Structure 1
Amino acid sequence: MTAEANQTLPGPAAPPAPEATLLLVDDEPNILSSLKRVLRGENYRVLTASGGEAALAILEQESVDLVVSDAMMPDMDGAELLSRVNRLSPDCIRVLLTGQSDMQATVRAINEGHIYCYIAKPWDDDKLRLTLRQAVAHQLAEREQKRLEALTQQQNQELIELNATLEQRVEARTQELKQIADMLDTAYDELKHSYVMATRVFSSLITQRMPRHLHANAQVGDLIQAFADTHELEGELRRDLLMSAALYNLGKLAWNDHMLTTPSERLFGEERKAYRRYPETGESLLMSLEHLQGTARLIRHHREHWNGDGYPNRLEGESIPYGSRLLALAVDFIELQRGMILPRKVPRQQALDLMRKLAGRVYDPSLCKAFITLCVDQAPDLGQAGKTMLSLETRQLEPGMILGQDIHSATGILLLNEGKELTQHLIDKLRKLEEVEGTGYTLMVCKPEIGENDA
C-alpha cells in the first residue's frame, strides 16, 4: 500500500450550527407541517408541540430562542401560554399566530405575554420568514448589547484597580473603552433599525386586510414625511408621526370585509359605533409597546375635531395633540380621494376645497392652510417618481406638459385623464370651456425634462 493510500482523506464539511432554536405550537398537525415546510430552508433547529402543556414540558428540557404559538388551542390558549413563557424565560422571543376573529386573544397576548409581534392567518410565506429572521436578529442584538454592557462594567472595575498612577495603562484602557462605547452605539443603532423594519412589516400586514384600491398608508406616509421635511419637524414628534401614518388603521383589523369596503358615511347603527371605536382600539394594541406610546396617543386622537365634536374624547382646539391634527389632515385627504369617507371618490382639487371649508370646524385652521399649501406646491401624494409637479392655471400651460391628475368639469364629467400630454389645441379648448362655464381650472402638471420630447 502506498504512502498516499495511508493518508486520511478529508471528510465532508460539518453543517453550520443552527442560528436559533424555534418551538412551533399548534393543535392542528397540518398547521405544524405547513410551518415546518415554510422554514425548511432556514438555518433553525425546529421543535414542535401539539398544545400548551406539551410546549412547557419541552421548554423545561430545551433551550428555546423563539416560540410561535397558535392563539386558539383547546388545553391552553396562545395568550396564556406566551404569558407563562414570558415568566419562565423572559429572553425567549414570543410570536402569536392568530386568525381574524382572535383579536381578544391577541390583545391579551400583547398585554400579558409581551409578544414581539403577531402573524395573521393565512400567512404569507415570505413575510413569515422575514418576520422570524428579524425577531431572531433582534434577540441576537439584545444579547450582544447585554454582553457588551457586562464587558464594559468589568473593564471599568479593572480600570479602578489599575490605579490612576499608571498613566500609560489608563490611557490604553481608555481607548479600549471608547471602542466598546462605539460598538454599543452601533449595536443600539442596529436595534433601532430592526425596530423600524419590524414596524414596516407590521404595517404591511395591516394592508393585507384591505383591498388594494383602498391601500392608503403609503400615501399618508409620503404626505407626513413631506410636511415634516418642509416644516423641519424633528425628534420624537417626527418619529411618532411617521409611525402613526403606518399604523393609524390598526384598529380596523377586526372588521369584516363589508365594513372595510364601505365608506364611513354609509355606516349606521352598530357598524357606525364600531367605526368610531377604531382609534381607541389601535391605541390599546400599541400601549404595551414602550417605544410606540407616543404613536398610540396620536392615533387615539386623530378623529377629534377642532370644534370639539369629534371622538373619542371630544377634545377641542389645541388640546388635540399637534401630531393628531396633522395625521387627520393627511388621512382625510387620501381617504376622500379613495372613496373611503363619502359614497364617491372626491377628485383631488375638490378634496382640497372641502378641507378648506371645514377648517375651523373639523381641522386646525392654520395647520390646514399649511397642509393645503404643501399639497398644491409639492403634491407628494401624486407619486410622480421624483418629477416636479406644478399647480397651474390654464393661462400658464405650455404644450408638452403632462397631466398629473384627472381633470373634471364643474358637473363632474371627465375632461382629460391623468398622464395626458397637453397640446396647444387641448389648452385652447380648456380656455374656451372656462369662458363658457364662467369658471377657472387649476391643473396639476408634470413638465418634461429637457430633451425628453426629442428622445
Structure 2
Amino acid sequence: MTERILVVDDEPGILHALQRLLRQGLVDGNGQRYLVDECASGELALEHASVHVYALAISDYRMPEMNGVDFLSALRRLQPDCQRIILSGYTDLNGLIRAVNEAGITRFIAKPWTDYELLSAVREVLKVRELTLESRRLADIVRTQQGQLNAHEAELRRLERMEPGITHVNWAEDGSFILEDPDDARS
C-alpha cells in the first residue's frame, strides 16, 4: 500500500512546490514514491482525511477560515497516527506553543525553507512514525502471547492503525448499526 502525505496551504505556488519536492525527494521503506495530496484549505483537507489515511500532514500556519493549528488539531482527532508539521513565515511563539500542545506537531519549519532541511525533517518524522507503529505492533504480539491481549483485540488495533475509524460502529437504539454516507459527514 502506497503511503500518502497531505500538504495544506492557501498559496497555490507553495502547494505545488511542496508537492513536487516531496514526490521527487521521498521514497517509503518499500522504495515507492509517496502519494502527495494538496489542499488549499483546512476544510478541504479534512474531507480528504475522512477518505484517505495519511502518514504525514504538512500545513501552513496562517490560512483564512481555518488556521493550521485548528486543522492539525482536528486531523489529530481523526487520524492520531498521522504525523503533523507546521510551516510558517511568521514567528509567533504563542501560536507555536499552541501547535505543540493542541495539534501535537512534531516539527515547525520556517518559510522560506531549504529543500534539504525540509526533506531531512520529513524523513526523520516519517521514520519515527514507522518505528512507533512497528513498536506498537510488536508490543501487541507480546501482550497476545502473554495473555494480556486476546487475538480479537490485537486484530482490532491492527485494523484501526490501517484505517482509522474502521472499528467504530454507530448503534441505533433497536440494536441495528447505522451506516453513514460519507457525503453527509462533509456537509
Q: Determine which of 76, 96, 99 is the counterpart of 2:66.
A: 76
**Does the alignment pair 1:118 with 2:101?**
no
Q: Determine which of 112, 116, 121 is the counterpart of 1:131.
A: 121
Q: Could you tell me which residue of structure 1 aligns to residue 168 of structure 2?
A: none
Q: Could you tell me which residue of structure 2 aligns to residue 40 of structure 1?
A: 23
Cα RMSD (Å): 1.5
Gaps of 5+ in 2: 27-32, 149-187
- For the pair shown, the structure with the greater C-alpha radius of gyration is 1
Higher relative contact order (CA 8 A, sep 6+): 2
Q: Could you tell me which residue of structure 2 aligns to residue 140 of structure 1?
A: 130
The 1-side partners of 2:80 and 2:94 are apart by 23
1:227-242 to 2 correspondences below 5 Å: none
Q: CA deviation at 1:139?
A: 0.5
Q: Could you tell me which residue of structure 2 aligns to residue 49 of structure 1?
A: 39
- Quick one: percent identity of the two aligned structures? 38
Which has a greater percent of strand?
2
Indicate if the aligned counterparts of 1:25 and 1:51 stay in contact, CA closer than 8 A: yes
1:31 maps to amino acid: I
Query: How big is each residue's C-alpha offset from its partner over 1:352-386, in whole Å with a ceiling of 9 and x where there is no partner?
Result: xxxxxxxxxxxxxxxxxxxxxxxxxxxxxxxxxxx
The 2-side partners of 1:75 and 1:126 are apart by 31
Q: Could you tell me which residue of structure 1 aligns to residue 75 of structure 2?
A: 85
Indicate if the aligned counterparts of 2:4 and 2:53 stay in contact, CA closer than 8 A: yes
Gaps of 5+ in 1: 1-16, 159-455
Indicate if the aligned counterparts of 2:73 and 2:104 stay in contact, CA closer than 8 A: yes
1:120-269 to 2 correspondences below 5 Å: 120-157=110-147
**Does the alignment pair 1:30 with 2:20?**
no
The 1-side partners of 2:14 and 2:96 are apart by 19
1:55 maps to amino acid: A
Q: CA deviation at 1:156?
A: 1.6
**Does the alignment pair 1:60 with 2:50?**
yes
Indicate if the aligned counterparts of 1:25 and 1:32 stay in contact, CA closer than 8 A: yes
Structure 2 length-normalised TM: 0.71
Q: CA deviation at 1:37?
A: 2.0
Q: CA deviation at 1:38?
A: 1.4
The 2-side partners of 1:76 and 1:102 are apart by 17
SS in 1 for 2:147: helix
The 1-side partners of 2:56 and 2:118 are apart by 13
Structure 1 length-normalised TM: 0.30
